[in-house]
Amino acid sequence: MHKKLEAFLTDRIRNSGPVDLSDFIDLSLTHPQFGYYRHRDPLGCAGDFTTAPEVSQLFGEMVAVWIIDLWIQMDRPAFNLIEFGPGRATLMSDIQRVGRGFQGFTDATHIRFIEVSETLKIQQKEKLQGSQISWHDDLPSIPTDQPAIIIGNEFLDVLSIEQLKRTEKGWLKCAVNQDKNHRYVYDWVKADDGLQGYLPNHTVSNVVYEISPARFNFIDECAQFLKQSGGAALFIDYGHVRSHFGDTFQAIRKHQFVDPLEEAGLCDLTSHVDFEPLRAAIHELDLKSPECVTQGAFLNALGLSQRIGALQEYANKMKAEGQVEKADKFLSDLESSSHRLTAADQMGDLFKVMCFYAGYDVKPVGFDA
Ligand code: SAH
């Protein structure tokens, strides 16, 4: 565990008892001094995990098609393109490249990033030099006088959860505590009544339910924002479209699963996103949110195979011009990365795509309205 986080937790447990799982996650990931995300680039082979935009340009290109199509349906307004947790800005630069092929798109777009990592902010600035772009601490600091399209890939999964369990002693929640030997352990303590409102209507005893007030508040904030500004949101993440029980809390370091209690502050802590209550909250606010789709289905609906066809043609031209080795490498990378993005046993089924929109009578591509 990160030494400063360890000292902080020891002190906190001594003074006020076991630490809620959600606090443990928030402190580990985003504490200003020692939070995992604050001062590092966690992405890529040399980092801890790889995301879809880092796997292939195909991902960002399909997201670009989704955004541009929507922008055309909205009648090509000047708009804010807001991204949460943009990482290395790879997704945004792929969107920009596609956007340059559509007259008026680049000039109409004001990019706004919400990013907690100082290290990644520097990379984002370098990558998108010359663009109309600004950084914000949160959504309320962005004006609503223009429509907005909000996106986030692998952002919802970093927002914290609580784990709850119904036992003969009532509802208990998971907390982090220390045993006699000062080792960190999970402890089940009485759950505050307020948390039960986040649970599904029918529950079973003695199994773990994960709830996320943080994701709920975040999505509520996005929905309220879009109600004022008009526009749409697209979130892509691993998770399920129907609520069910099960422990999905995980820690990843250097592309391996590790023990969260051992490595907190030095690893990514995430959990699967339960999209069902998030969409229910969106509907309560009278926004439209069609059923989520899998990442594989989404990318295919946006024309992935046509794009692969065009890139293959480009590689074949390279071959004809004598660049055989380069073209073969390009073709094999193309095949393996598209497989990784869409195959059911890779990212294709596990990752889901959620969209919601307000103020425009649009039909987002890839979803059944
Ligand atoms: N979207 C990128 C990166 C995903 S990793 C991609 O797909 O490659 C999660 C991203 O969210 C990182 O950029 C991380 O620094 C950022 N992040 C984590 N917690 C955050 C928070 N509370 N607010 C804003 N950004 C956050």
Is the CB of 116 within 6 Å of ligand 1?
yes
Q: Which atom of ligand 1 is nearest to the CA of 54?
A: 8
Ligand 1 centroid to Cα of residue 152, in Å, is 8
Pocket test for ligand 1, best of 22, 30, 37, 48 (most atoms within 8 A of CB): 37
Amino acid 227: pLDDT:
97
The pLDDT score that the predictor gives to residue 251 is: 97
Cβ 35 under 6 angstroms from ligand 1: no
The per-type count for the chain, helices as H runs and strands as E runs, is 13, 16
Q: Which residues pair with 111 in a beta bridge?
A: 81, 133
Residue 268 near residue 278 (C-beta atoms within 8 A): no
87 CB within 6 A, ligand 1: yes
- Spatial separation of the C-alpha atoms in residues 23 and 20, rounded to whole Å: 5
Residue for token pair 């995430």: 270
Nearest CA owner, ligand 1 atom 2: 87
pLDDT at 369: 66
| DSSP-derived pairing of the beta strands 170-178 and 79-84 | unpaired
- Measured in Å, residue 80 CA sits from the centre of ligand 1 at 19
Residue 340: what pLDDT?
97
**Nearest Cα to Cα of residue 111 among 88, 87, 95:** 95
Q: Give the pLDDT confidence of 109-160 residue by residue, as tens digits.
A: 999 999 999 999 999 999 999 899 999 999 999 999 999 999 999 999 999 9
Q: Which of 115, 122, 273 to mutate to test the pocket of ligand 1 (most atoms within 8 A of CB)?
A: 115
d(CA 197, CA 144): 31
Quick one: pLDDT at residue 210? 98
Asked if 219 contacts 136 with a C-beta cutoff of 8 angstroms, the reply is: no
The amino acid occupying position 245 is F
Contact by Cβ (8 Å): 60, 91: yes
Environment class of residue 366 by beta-carbon count within 10 Å: exposed (0-12), middle (13-18) or buried (19+)? buried
The predicted structure's pLDDT at residue 39:
86
Residue 88 alpha carbon, nearest atom of ligand 1: 8
Query: Smallest Cα–Cα separation from 246: which of 209, 288, 275, 215?
Result: 209
Q: Which residues of the chain have pLDDT under 50?
A: none
> Which ranges constitute the DSSP H helices of 52-117?
52-55, 57-73, 90-99, 105-108
Dihedral pair phi/psi, residue 346, rounded to 5°: -110, -120
DSSP string over 301-358: HTTHHHHHHHHHHHHHHHHHTT-HHHHHHHHHHHHHHHHHHH-TTTTTTTEEEEEEEE
Ligand 1 centroid–CA 115 distance in Å is 6
Q: Is 123 in the pocket of ligand 1 (CB under 6 A)?
A: no
Ligand 1 proximity of 364 Cβ (cutoff 6 Å):
no
Distance 116 CA to ligand 1 centre (A): 7
Give the predicted TM-score (pTM) of the model.
0.97
Name residue, tokens 């399909």: 62
